[in-house]
Amino acid sequence: MTILVIAEHDNVELKPVTLNVIQAATEVAKVTGKEIEVLVAGFDCRAVADQAVKANGIGKVLLVDDEAYSSQLAESMSSLIIKIAAKYSHILAPASTSGKNFMPRVAALLDVAQISEIISVESENTFKRPIYAGNAIATVQSGDTKKVMTVRGTAFNPVDSNEHSIVEIVGVETPDVEKNTGSRHVADELVSTDRPELTSARVVISGGRGMANGDNFKLLDGIADKLGAAVGASRAAVDAGFVSNDMQVGQTGKIVAPELYIAVGISGAIQHLAGMKDSKVIVAINKDEDAPIFSVADYGVVIDLFEALPLFEQEL
Amino acid sequence: MKILVAVKRVIDYNVKVRVKADLTDVELANTKMGLNPFCEIAVEEAIRLKEKGVATEVVVVSIGNKASQEQLRTALALGADRGILIETEQVVDSLSVAKLLQAVVLEEKPELVILGKQSIDSDNGQTGQMLAALAGMPQATFASELTIADGQAIVVREVDGGLQTLELNLPAVVTTDLRLNEPRYASLPNIMKAKRKPLDVKTPEALGVDLKCYLKVIKVEPPTERQSGIVVESIGELVTKLKNEAKVIG
């Protein structure tokens, strides 16, 4: 039996979170002695497979290049994965909106449990995962022969890349996969940015309701540029309409764990803390000294953010 | 068009959960319970479709012990037409829930099933997708906009990089994200009226579903607490500390 990792990509680029999932798979491999294979399923996505082979610790990259997978819809992805599932004991995907979309289908079609968002590998069949928005950690044990799970990327370090990889790409033909006729992709409205992705950025600077409006988020840009940071927001800022939802950090948004997280004008509601409290160093800038964010911050400054931000940019 | 909405009874979202001393679960005794917020959004969306004349009937279903009737009554007070409780004392995991819902789908034949994207207790986020797979229906998860037109559901989904629009044939499964709508409050007359709305109680056995435990919880523990740090006097001092002490910026 082998371990399968489903690569996250947009047909052009392998998303960095895939490397974190491969690390989780590596930990399973350590206790089972099994080999890891990576599935790249998409359309015109050879370039992604070329990037995937560089990941350390994998044995093979499977490439399924077919128009049916161009948008990686849940129906198509799950049909494909169950078709090739026989030889795998563990099937892992990132706990991204994509992985969360198709993996439960895979599990249901295989008649096994799906284990959501694991944060540690305890043994071949035992894993830890957060419940109640991270206010408790459950250790769960699967009695199924196949473990289908999603992985919280921030809980695992990415595996290294090997430029001189000799891992081969194996094309997989899937003529007998059931065609998805029930759903059609209409449009993507993706927010383009030159900044790093929130979930893989080394530094994240986020604004909260204290930013007062969307325009003021520009004050974070200069600092983000200097630090090479991604810009995030609290749910309060998103709900107030300051910025779009793809910037949301928190239980209902993205889970981040950068080396440095800077919370600006964020009070620190539980739901926000759930999304960033595993960051290595947390900085809080807030004028309310009683804000709960200070209880998790390594460094806090009690100061009006409109005074603080220009100073901060200047000091860098 | 008939809409089926699945709802779950969970610890109220305002309650700070505590892990039991024996590390078997979180403390549920004497804890305020409520309707899972994402399920509430699902109920609201179904009712709005009925108010627009798109839906003709909204059926709510829940799986749990007798107390889950409260959450069904809440949904009925919000405007659902009738309720179904699949009563069991067992803890039911996602796949078994999906199988029970699939049995209800076969009986009720809804054209649309709406569920919350996840429950705020187990945070699994699986049931809708599993049901769609078992029922052979197309799915749209994390919906922030739902339109029914020409026998299709047009759904805008919240995905990591922004928004994605899908078109689904009906019957279909849709799971709700936070921005889909803002649920209403039930009015007192509607709460009174809800008490007289039909609520059927069924058992998993009657639906022919064996509640297998696919995943065993062997321990529940509190997360490691983060130590709070220091308050510095100025931005200048902060930058110095980040450079020299934490060494996270160059």
In this prediction, residue B250 has a pLDDT band, given cuts at 50, 70 and 90, of confident
Rounded CA separation B241/B235 (Å): 10
Strands A36-42 and B9-11: unpaired
Q: Which of B158, B223, B228 sits opposite A294 (nearest CB)?
A: B228
Instruction: Copy the structure tokens of residue A267.
Output: 């009070």
Structure confidence by residue, pLDDT tens digits, B160-217: 888 999 999 999 999 999 889 999 999 999 999 999 999 999 999 999 999 988 899 9
Q: Which of B123, B215, B228 sits opposite A133 (nearest CB)?
A: B123
Element (H, E) at B50: helix B37-51
The pLDDT assigned to A191 comes to: 79
Length of chain B measured in residues: 250
For residues B138 and B132, the answer to whether their CB atoms sit within 8 Å is: yes
Distance CA B40, CA B183 (A): 7
Residue from A96, A100, A127, A199 to probe the interface with B (highest B Cβ count within 10 Å): A100
CA distance B247 to chain A (A): 10
Q: What is the pLDDT of residue A246?
A: 86
Domains, chain B, ranges and CATH?
2-225 (3.40.50.620)
A273: which 2 tokens? 């803390």
The single residue listed with the structure tokens 């804000």 is A291
Output the six-digit token pair for B65: 């012990």
Do the Cβ atoms of A184 and B167 come within 8 Å?
yes
Give pLDDT tens digits for A189-232. Answer: 987 778 888 888 899 999 999 999 999 999 999 999 999 999 99
pLDDT, residue B4, reads 98
Asked if A108 lies within 8 A of B162 by C-beta distance, the reply is no
How far, in Å, CA of B9 to CA of B7, rounded? Answer: 7
A134 has pLDDT over 90: no
Report, as an integer, the average pLDDT of B57-69: 98
Residue with token string 């995962």 = A129
Interval B103-114 mean pLDDT: 98
Helix and strand numbers, DSSP H then E, in chain B: 6, 13
Mutant choice from A105, A145, A286 vs B, greatest count of B C-beta within 10 A:
A105
